[in-house]
Structure 1
Amino acid sequence: MSTHDVLLTGGRVIDPATGFDAVADLAITGGEITYLAAPGKETPEAETVVDATGKILAPGFIDLHAHGQNLTGHRLQAFDGVTTTLELESGAAPIRSALNWSAEQGRPLHYGFSAGWLHSRILVMEELEDKADALDPLPLDSWASLQHLQSWRGEATPEQIGRIVELTAKQLDAGGLGIGMLLGYAPGTCAAELQAIAELAVQRDVPLFVHARRGGPEGLEELLELSRSTGVQVHLCHFGSTNSGSLAESTQLVLDAYAEGLPFTTESYPFGMSSTVIGAAFLDPEVMKQTGRDPRRIIVLETGEEIASYERLAELRAEDPGTLILGRTYDERIPEDRAALQQAVTLKDAAFASDSMPVKPASSGCMAGLENPTDIDEWPLPEGFVVHPRATGCFTRAISWLARDAQALSLSEVIARSSTIPARIMSRAFPEFKRKGTLQPGSDADLVVFDLESLTPNEDFTRVEPTTGVDQLWVGGVQVIEDGQLKPEAKPGRALLG
């Protein structure tokens, strides 16, 4: 009888990909799952045996939408059960900078980036292509640092469109996992440019990961028609937050798209509070006035300031358009809003995805010795940092709220939306993902072990705390969390490339 590296015994194994849900023994050898069977057969031999009695074993969660792509962001997501974290909505350009930086530092989780269309657009329209390598390697921070520029927000010329497409294609050549389209941040983009990017995606047989140009049915219908006319695979980011004002109509549009057979998928995060840069086009005070949105629903992340007026919003946007804010898309203090949020995030066949943000200093004091919070390597994380808690507890909140407490979804379905469905979305274009999102022998040894009853996601916006209740985490067969404690030296994550 062969000897396995690790044997987990007595846990409830849930594998939505196959419908397996039973108390079973599971073994890992190298980077693969090599044994799965219900107790009663001869127990296999293993160098290490882990008693998982009373715990849940599930495929490691796959986050399609994570901006916190530094070491701290990875470590926080490990406690959320994540084994693969991908920056697909924004993407990166130059992608080699993000990949090289990640590889040089090492990462505890698998990672990857899409080809960043908006990054490419800014580099072209602001004539910065020769300065691209000097930008911050964390894509969200490099993008935020360019928010003060204006040319990229308008319509591109035909010559510029050609260069944008060419630069985006180069990012695909460098390993981009599809094309990230922050369309909502450049609403002046013309139909010809959108069509050209869709045609590039079709030519390369890769998906678009899109932040819609506008919220509600109008933005959704534009993307559905794009998929219908070109055949491009479209993944709509954060359905819940983008369609909060038109939930019933937008839900029906998605269900109709499924029925039509369009290659269309979507995702949501289980929080009523959103987060982005204050310079976003849809946070323009004049736009907000026209749509009747209250500026008091916007909170500055680093200071906690609730923006009292449109005038104050304009002032803060002028001071630093890259400042991170929180926005009350659904006010969870109001029962009707919380019910609407639950309806949004339980949309049929939608994945969960965090839209995680990088941690930021709440004060200059916690930055001692650091030029940039991107560089933090200390664990536990020092006091004085803040982040939207979707960076620390997206998937565990979905489990604890929607499955355990509200029973709006079964535990198996929440796990599927966190692992199996994201793997299926990616595997259409990238076959490597067929080995993820399942616990069957021969699949990648990416798995999470958690205590359902004690699972407590961090929901605090004022301090950064890891989720508790995730007991064990393996990434590529290497243990990253052991008995609820991070192994800081463990950096088995590898780059996933297109």
Structure 2
Amino acid sequence: MWDLLLHGGRVIDPGTGRDGIADIGVRGGRIVDVAVDLPRSEAVHAVDVTGLVVLPGLVDLHTHLGDGAGYWGLDPVPIAWRTGVTTWIDAGSAGAYTLAGLRRSIVDPSPLRVHALINVAGTGLVGRTGEHHVLENLDVDTTVAVAAAEPDLVRGVKARIDRHTVGPHGIEPLRRARSVADRLGRPLMVHIGYGPPGLAEIAPLLKEGDVLTHCATGVAAGLVSEGRPTDTLLRLRDTGVVFDLGHGSGAFDFEVFEAELAAGIDPVVSTDLHVRSIHGPAFDLPTVMAKAMAAGMDLNRAVAAATVRPARALGLDAGTLAVGAAADIAVFEIVHDGFDAVDVHGGVRRAPVRLTNTATYVGGRLLPPASAAPPPLWVPLSPAQQEAENERRERVRASVRRLDRPEDFDEPFPRP
């Protein structure tokens, strides 16, 4: 009856409101049953997950993919199998000139669900910054045409709006991104950082359903003042703008995030994972979820912020364990001893739990282990990060066990 049956785990699925012990039956890559005490004898493959937590495959709203195709891009496969992230949204690594390359190198060969926000700059993120310095590359008509030809892949538009990226052009790149999003009927994700432009200039160009990423950064003026969200930020909340954490290497401040949570702002939790932030302090989505809990989110709220809510923001068939949904499933052990979590400025909070992934399924298929490549030469690792990377390589090398006893090679069948 089922290709796969996960039985005995605590199923947390904010999309359906389920939180309790249940079994999950999978057939043909889809979830066909969620109930208590499903008969194991009717499953081709039954897995006991008693004592573990079963979540929808995680949805990371803000990542940078394209290993070797730009400054920031990484390969998601070596990360997904050990973190439970089954749906990846590339946030503007590719523009009109490079989107086909993203599809060929990452999307088509990947076992994962990969979608993209097209960069308003045709070049995408081939360099560290500065993609908006040449307005000729921000061709609205071309970007619309390329994105419209890839509706399943392109789920929105991305623009990085800070002084390093826009150069002398101020708010003009955002105006062009706004035009692309409106013509496509897709949301616009706007990166904020060092101004100008500041939030007061950016806010009038955002609409309901758009995404303000790096919403808890400590470097962008206009988010929080004297421990409270500014009127501009509250107006964006009331407009229906989606706030996205987008942790990254330099865009998460506990004090800003805590002030937003206290004011009733409920951000989506994402990593801004790229070739630098994978080495810390973001590391991966379960780690960022734990940081969100350290700041005041409970477990169910953090799960919703990393599953059904980002999926709904982009209209994706993901982030839920509802019957009929794709069988994208993440199994976790919850370790309750907690750990000290840090923001990008050295702020520390105690995370109440650590989420440790034990299995990740995409379309009902278990993702196998995969080893990550070393960081590219331009990533400036700290001494501690370099030491950790060296240790990782040695662990991979040492993980190959040498078998040299005769009994290690007993034949499964007798010779004729």
* 1:476 maps to amino acid: G
What residue ranges of structure 2 are gaps of 5+ in the alignment? Answer: 68-73, 345-353, 372-416
| Residue 99 (1) aligns with residue 103 (2) | yes
Separation (CA, whole Å) in 2 of partners of 1:181 and 1:354: 17
Q: After TM superposition, list the pairs within 5 Å mapping 1:63-212 onto structure 2.
A: 63-70=60-67, 72-93=75-96, 94-103=98-107, 106-118=109-121, 120=122, 140=125, 142-144=126-128, 152-153=132-133, 156=135, 160=136, 164-175=139-150, 176-184=154-162, 185-189=165-169, 191=171, 194-212=174-192
* 2:211 maps to amino acid: H
* 1:31 maps to amino acid: G
| Residue 22 (1) aligns with residue 20 (2) | yes
How big is each residue's C-alpha offset from its partner over 1:269-304, in whole Å with a ceiling of 9 and x where there is no partner?
Answer: 45xxx53xxxxxxxxxxxxxxxxxxxxxxxxxxxxx
Pick aligned residue for 1:355 from 257, 269, 272: 272
Deviation for aligned residue 1:478:
1.4
| Residue 443 (1) aligns with residue 325 (2) | yes
- Structure 1 192/66 Cα, relative in aligned 2: closer, same or farther at 3 Å? closer
> Does the 8 Å CA contact 1:11/1:25 hold for their aligned counterparts?
yes
Deviation for aligned residue 1:65:
1.0
| Residue 413 (1) aligns with residue 301 (2) | yes
> Does the 8 Å CA contact 1:59/1:419 hold for their aligned counterparts?
yes
Deviation for aligned residue 1:108:
3.7
* 1:195 maps to amino acid: R
Q: Give the structure 1 partner of residue 279 of structure 2.
A: 388
| Residue 397 (1) aligns with residue 307 (2) | no
Deviation for aligned residue 1:226:
1.2
- Structure 1 458/358 Cα, relative in aligned 2: closer, same or farther at 3 Å? farther
- Structure 1 151/452 Cα, relative in aligned 2: closer, same or farther at 3 Å? closer
* 1:349 maps to amino acid: D
Deviation for aligned residue 1:268:
0.8
Pick aligned residue for 1:239 from 167, 190, 215: 215
What residue ranges of structure 1 are gaps of 5+ in the alignment? Answer: 124-138, 276-326, 331-336, 360-385, 428-432, 462-466, 489-498
* 1:254 maps to amino acid: L
Q: Give the structure 1 partner of residue 31 of structure 2.
A: 33
Deviation for aligned residue 1:69:
3.9
Separation (CA, whole Å) in 1 of partners of 2:181 and 2:127: 22
| Residue 56 (1) aligns with residue 53 (2) | yes
Q: Give the structure 2 partner of residue 380 of structure 1.
A: none
Q: Give the structure 1 partner of residue 362 of structure 2.
A: 475
How big is each residue's C-alpha offset from its partner over 1:15-47, in whole Å with a ceiling of 9 and x where there is no partner?
Answer: 1112110100111112211110133x6567210
Separation (CA, whole Å) in 2 of partners of 1:416 and 1:13: 13
Separation (CA, whole Å) in 2 of partners of 1:408 and 1:32: 34
> Does the 8 Å CA contact 2:193/2:217 hold for their aligned counterparts?
no
Deviation for aligned residue 1:207:
1.0
* 2:367 maps to amino acid: V
Deviation for aligned residue 1:112:
2.0
> Does the 8 Å CA contact 2:158/2:188 hold for their aligned counterparts?
yes
The structure with the largest strand share of the pair is: 2
Separation (CA, whole Å) in 2 of partners of 1:253 and 1:44: 58
Pick aligned residue for 2:232 from 253, 277, 288: 253
* 1:183 maps to amino acid: I
- Structure 1 407/338 Cα, relative in aligned 2: closer, same or farther at 3 Å? closer
* 2:184 maps to amino acid: R
Deviation for aligned residue 1:414:
0.4
How many corresponding residue pairs? 345
* 2:210 maps to amino acid: V
Separation (CA, whole Å) in 2 of partners of 1:91 and 1:420: 25
* 2:203 maps to amino acid: L
TM-score normalised by the chain length of structure 2? 0.72
Deviation for aligned residue 1:8:
0.5
> Does the 8 Å CA contact 1:63/1:353 hold for their aligned counterparts?
yes
* 2:57 maps to amino acid: G
Alignment RMSD, CA only? 3.4
How big is each residue's C-alpha offset from its partner over 1:69-93, in whole Å with a ceiling of 9 and x where there is no partner?
Answer: 4374432243222111111244433
Identity %: 24
Deviation for aligned residue 1:263:
4.1
Deviation for aligned residue 1:63:
0.9
Separation (CA, whole Å) in 2 of partners of 1:44 and 1:188: 67
Separation (CA, whole Å) in 2 of partners of 1:212 and 1:237: 7
Separation (CA, whole Å) in 2 of partners of 1:468 and 1:193: 39
Separation (CA, whole Å) in 2 of partners of 1:449 and 1:455: 19
* 1:178 maps to amino acid: G
Deviation for aligned residue 1:400:
3.4
> Does the 8 Å CA contact 2:14/2:300 hold for their aligned counterparts?
yes
Separation (CA, whole Å) in 2 of partners of 1:397 and 1:342: 17
> Does the 8 Å CA contact 1:7/1:28 hold for their aligned counterparts?
yes
Which stretch of the first structure deviates more once superposed, 188-197 or 79-88? 188-197
Pick aligned residue for 1:268 from 245, 255, 276: 245
- Structure 1 351/151 Cα, relative in aligned 2: closer, same or farther at 3 Å? closer
